[in-house]
C-alpha cells in the first residue's frame, strides 16, 4: 500500500469513527418521563452513558422539605435528595440507536432493573426488566427542548 492509499484509508477510518460517535451521542441531553413531572439528564462518562434526575415538578414533600430517596434498600442512602439522583447507569452504545447493558433505578419502589434504551428522534424508549427483556415494563420519554 502506498502513502496515498494509506492516507485515504486513515481518512475514511476517522470519518467512520466520528460518525459513529455522533450517532452514539444523540442520546445526550434532557428527557421528560411520560407524566412530564421529571426530567432526566443523560450524560457521558468515558464510553458509558448515565442519567440523573435534574428537574422535578414537585421537588418537596408535604412538609416542604426536599424529597429524599426514602425507598432505597440501603438505609444509609434514604436521606439523599431525589433531585440529582443517578437513575441510569453504565449504558453502552450498541449501534443502530440502541443502548444496552445498563440499569435503571426506580426511586418510587427502591428497585434497580436491567435496562435497554432505544432512541427514535425526539423519543427515547426505555425498557426496564428482570432477567430477560420479555419480563419488564416500557416507557417512552420525550426530549426536553
- Paired residues of 82 in beta bridges: none
DSSP state of 56: E
Q: Distance between CA 17 and CA 11 in Å, rounded?
A: 10
Which tens digit of pLDDT belongs to each residue from 8-24? 544 444 444 444 456 89
pLDDT at 145: 86
pLDDT at 10: 43
Give how far Cα 69 sits from Cα of 1, 31, 76, 119, Å. Answer: 60, 20, 10, 28
CB 84 within 8 A of CB 73: no
Ordered domains of the chain (ranges, CATH): 3-143 (2.40.128.520)
Our measurement of the distance from residue 59's CA atom to the centroid of its chain's CA atoms, rounded to an integer in Å, reads: 21
Which tens digit of pLDDT belongs to each residue from 66-120? 999 999 999 999 999 999 999 999 999 998 899 999 999 999 999 999 999 999 9
What is the pTM for the complete model shown? 0.83
Q: β-strands 38-45, 136-143: how paired?
A: unpaired
Amino acid at each position: 500500500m502506498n502513502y496515498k492509499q494509506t492516507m485515504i484509508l486513515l481518512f475514511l477510518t476517522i470519518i467512520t469513527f466520528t460518525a459513529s460517535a455522533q450517532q452514539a451521542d444523540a442520546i445526550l441531553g434532557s428527557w421528560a418521563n411520560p407524566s412530564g413531572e421529571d426530567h432526566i439528564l443523560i450524560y457521558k462518562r468515558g464510553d458509558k452513558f448515565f442519567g440523573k434526575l435534574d428537574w422535578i415538578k414537585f421537588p418537596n414533600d408535604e412538609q416542604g422539605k426536599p424529597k429524599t430517596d426514602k425507598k432505597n434498600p440501603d438505609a444509609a442512602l434514604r436521606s439523599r435528595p431525589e433531585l440529582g439522583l443517578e437513575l441510569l447507569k453504565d449504558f453502552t452504545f450498541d449501534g443502530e440507536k440502541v443502548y444496552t447493558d445498563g440499569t435503571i433505578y426506580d426511586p418510587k419502589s427502591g428497585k434497580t432493573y436491567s435496562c435497554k434504551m432505544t432512541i427514535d428522534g425526539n423519543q427515547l424508549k426505555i425498557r426496564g426488566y428482570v432477567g430477560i427483556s420479555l419480563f419488564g415494563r416500557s416507557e417512552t420519554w420525550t426530549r426536553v427542548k
